[in-house]
Amino acid sequence: MIRDRDSKYTESFDAVFEAEGIETVRTAPRAPWMNAHCERVIGTLRRELLDHVLIWNETHARHVLDVYARHYNGHRPHQAREQRPPLTDSRTAPLTDSSTPRRLLQTRVLGGLINEYRHAA
């Protein structure tokens, strides 16, 4: 678990995680933006997924997060990668030719919470 160095996290706080076999790693001192990547991912998960799904238990949470991770890394466009998902080949150009109408196929993810679209072959 990654946490900051706030004084509210006492030794007993770390001991609870240590008893469960979870290593606690503290961020660097006086580095307030060190958690920025984690905060970004947590915000994305909350806005795009968790605000719309009622989680029943740990098994359900793991399933929902696994399905979303596959969507996020395999289909969802990322601005930093020129609208390509992280797991696609970086040499593949994004589809920009819209002059020829093509048939779209829709895949419902998480019961329709997320819809993925691709061109029919």
In sequence order, what are the beta bridge partners of 114?
A: 109
Does the residue 6 lie in any domain?
no
Does the residue 112 lie in any domain?
yes
Does the residue 27 lie in any domain?
no
| pTM recorded for the entire structure | 0.59
Domain that holds residue 75: 54-89+97-121
**Contact assessment for residue 64 and residue 110, using Cβ atoms and an 8 Å cutoff:** yes
Count up the domains in the chain and report the number. 1
**Contact assessment for residue 78 and residue 87, using Cβ atoms and an 8 Å cutoff:** no
Does the residue 104 lie in any domain?
yes
Helices 36-45, 58-74: inter-axial angle, 10-degree rounding:
100
Does the residue 113 lie in any domain?
yes
Helices vs. strands in the chain: H and E counts, helices first: 3, 4
User: What string of pLDDT tens digits covers the 121 residues of the chain?
Assistant: 888 888 888 889 889 999 999 998 888 887 777 778 778 888 888 998 889 889 999 999 999 999 988 888 887 777 667 777 777 776 555 555 666 677 888 888 888 888 877 777 6
Does the residue 102 lie in any domain?
yes
**Contact assessment for residue 105 and residue 62, using Cβ atoms and an 8 Å cutoff:** no
Check residue 90 and give its pLDDT.
60
Does the residue 14 lie in any domain?
no
**Contact assessment for residue 96 and residue 102, using Cβ atoms and an 8 Å cutoff:** no
Does the residue 108 lie in any domain?
yes
